[in-house]
Structure 1
């Protein structure tokens, strides 16, 4: 058994607040990720800065110590936001004890970490707790919030047998995990912005003549093009891309449609990538021009649908104030939509270490007006959110009401500015003009 007493280093970062807007005349660019060794260095810096905030977080919730215990292959979800870059599993039994840097533990590493498969950890943990004498110990035992409920039943039983009963009258405070994982550090934003622009560049290329030829290319073909492209960019896929031809009936949820793409189709993609332990989640729409008929722009009804979805984004962001619950934001947004005669659905969520990260949600597709538990959590500053929604719009050219589905990520700036889009938002359809050659003989990508 080994007690790891490596001190934590705290790094300061300067916030990066540049704000990307929609620039149709300036297509998004692909960005290369740093070498793996540099990614690991950055990851560890960000992790150290985040962990250094935990003592203040414990004091906020009047907690003296936070105890995590897990086994290899059965890790607490919090582990992935605490580990070093070169760790890929919590080996043997891993026990972590966070404290408030007070009393007898002042000056000790935070957390104290044990890696053990002999049971010797318990003698040392008991000795530490006797010296520290915490009054309120938090365990991750929440029944409703996954990120606050990562203590396995077997680990709880082991703790119950090994620790004095007064310490097992533990506090369930899931907001410790929620706030720790959700909060971003400034150094992450510049890299996340490059990730998001790369996602836009993928979408621009996918929704172009480079990839799509009407009457031949299928939506499934485009999905697998995304998967291959994600791989070439050294990203991983957090969810399989879902590419759909939009019809009044199409709202496929966890799958795209299986269609041969035709001229005049309205297309949609929903996908996310993972890199540097950060996730994206993006939805854009495209229109396949009727090039054979001389069409050079999307129908006005399609353009108005995008504008209506953009207005819904504005409404949600105007209501997203730190401290308000997700349900309060959702219901205020729905009232404003009704006042403006806009129909649609909102289902926004936090994003960061996880694509569906901990924190307040604003609607689910199956819970459009009120979400128990997660909807009652407060909106947190210093976080990122996916603004995910759709607007219903009657398209006169088709005499059909369609869903215009958009999703973009926003980041918190400060109390004065509030939220801003990481790389802008889609304000015009990607246009697929499959018969327009570029000067070098290849097809010109219109976006």
Structure 2
């Protein structure tokens, strides 16, 4: 073999290696994850619940110097906090269910008289007046300096005590104990907001499943232009979610943005049924519930026109240079100890500096779709939000980075289209935040041109 041939073969070898490496760094196609059996899911959820009781509640009682926390409800009139504290196999409060969390501080002689805090849980279930005598006995035995009831005029997660229930509890406590009652909304808020570390891996798998669903929905497997409607895709999502043994916390939304539309107003066209056409920009909003955890995801897609083999550059740039940039900014601004209002203000300032017109309406997520914690703007409120916007980011919390960028598309004669994205992040114990799975950086593409549209329409 000549020297020239060897050099050529060596060069070819390195070209092949380089090409293999380039292909290997391409993002994998998201895949569906099968949930474990209901029995196994219940074990997983109950382990999370126990960790909250053993670790999260004592830490919060210490943080806010609370000795006793009372959570009380009747069947079908549950306190919001109840749903974050109940066993997985409990579907509603029984009769009257009363939970008392008592802070117990123990001093240890070793380690320079360190103190450890645990929680003593009293659970009372009854439908007679005996429950009030038992409550009074438990409170008197604890002799607390401070008692918290879930009452708050601004934050729903801290206002779960029904009016009649409050009257009964106050009567049972007596004047001596009633004088110790205080309000601390952050106790309920942060209990619901705090994520147990073991939740993140199952949540990642659920998020990847959502991505897999959207990838399938926004493809020629589901959409045939001139035939498929937005409502068809909505109900496809509902059936697909159900088939994964998941549920949803809102009806999925699918809409299109089309050349010639006036679609600059947020959520203007929601609920309108439209036939999907070539050249449409697709948008969906999907939120599933699995393991008792909610997701919230918005993605964009594009239906190729006849003869097109790729997405117009102006539409790709709308995703990358507008919406993705806004996501980066908001994600970077979500920092521990900052309020939602502070994050909103700094995010909008940076977004405006980039010359982007957009709206930020991000929110906590977890036990609920719109969960407990600091609000970062709302669709119609791009200024400070009293109460909920004044809450601070804490470690081990999750957020949906939800926003829209108003994008002028050159190929559509400069028509402005709202690019709405939403992706979930988690803030870890160090305060760093991460995408739960990943965020959308390429448009989903419906390449339908190999389909016989006439045949499908007849079917």
Q: Shared fold (TM-score greater than 0.5)?
A: yes
Indicate how the Cα distance of structure 1 residues 211 and 24 shifts in structure 2: closer, same or farther if over 3 A, else same: farther
Other structure's SS at 1:201 match = helix
Structure 1 CA distance for aligned equivalents of residues 211 and 311 of structure 2? 20
Indicate how the Cα distance of structure 1 residues 338 and 252 shifts in structure 2: closer, same or farther if over 3 A, else same: closer
Q: Deviations over 1:402-445 (max 9, x none)?
A: 111100000113437x11101110001001001247xxxxxxxx
Structure 2 CA distance for aligned equivalents of residues 98 and 316 of structure 1? 37
Structure 2 counterpart of 1:229: 240
**Aligned to 2:128, which of 118, 122, 125?**
118
- 1:366 CA drift (Å): 1.1
Gaps of 5+ in 2: 1-23, 107-115, 452-459
1:284-323 superposed matches below 5 A: 284-290=299-305, 292=306, 294-307=307-320, 308-323=322-337
- CA RMSD, Structure 1 to Structure 2 (Å): 2.0
Indicate how the Cα distance of structure 1 residues 108 and 339 shifts in structure 2: closer, same or farther if over 3 A, else same: closer
Structure 2 counterpart of 1:86: 89
Q: Deviations over 1:30-72 (max 9, x none)?
A: 1100001100000000000011121221111011100111100
1:166 aligns with 2:176: yes
Structure 2 CA distance for aligned equivalents of residues 127 and 71 of structure 1? 20
1:1-40 superposed matches below 5 A: 26-40=28-42
1:258 aligns with 2:273: yes
Structure 1 length-normalised TM: 0.89
- 1:24 CA drift (Å): 6.2
**Aligned to 1:359, which of 355, 368, 373?**
373
Gaps of 5+ in 1: 1-21, 438-447
1:147 aligns with 2:141: no
Which stretches of structure 1, 4 residues or more, deviate above 4 A after TM superposition?
A: 22-25, 106-109
Structure 1 counterpart of 2:219: 208
Q: Deviations over 1:173-217 (max 9, x none)?
A: 110011111111111111000100000111011001111000011
Structure 2 counterpart of 1:239: 250
- Larger relative CO (CA 8 A, sep 6+): 1 or 2? 1
- 1:255 CA drift (Å): 3.2
Structure 2 counterpart of 1:413: 428
Indicate how the Cα distance of structure 1 residues 82 and 285 shifts in structure 2: closer, same or farther if over 3 A, else same: same
1:183 aligns with 2:185: no
Other structure's SS at 1:239 match = coil
Other structure's SS at 1:163 match = helix
Q: Deviations over 1:80-109 (max 9, x none)?
A: 100001111110011111011148xx9997
**Aligned to 2:356, which of 342, 346, 364?**
342
Indicate how the Cα distance of structure 1 residues 109 and 304 shifts in structure 2: closer, same or farther if over 3 A, else same: closer
Q: Deviations over 1:341-398 (max 9, x none)?
A: 1110000000001011000010000101221211111111101100000111110111
- 1:23 CA drift (Å): 7.8
Structure 1 CA distance for aligned equivalents of residues 292 and 269 of structure 2? 23
Structure 2 counterpart of 1:442: none
1:423 aligns with 2:455: no
* Structure with bigger gyration radius: 2
Structure 2 CA distance for aligned equivalents of residues 256 and 29 of structure 1? 29
Residues 73 and 97 in structure 2, CA contact (< 8 A), matched pair in contact too: yes
Structure 1 CA distance for aligned equivalents of residues 269 and 296 of structure 2? 14
Structure 2 length-normalised TM: 0.87
Other structure's SS at 2:234 match = helix
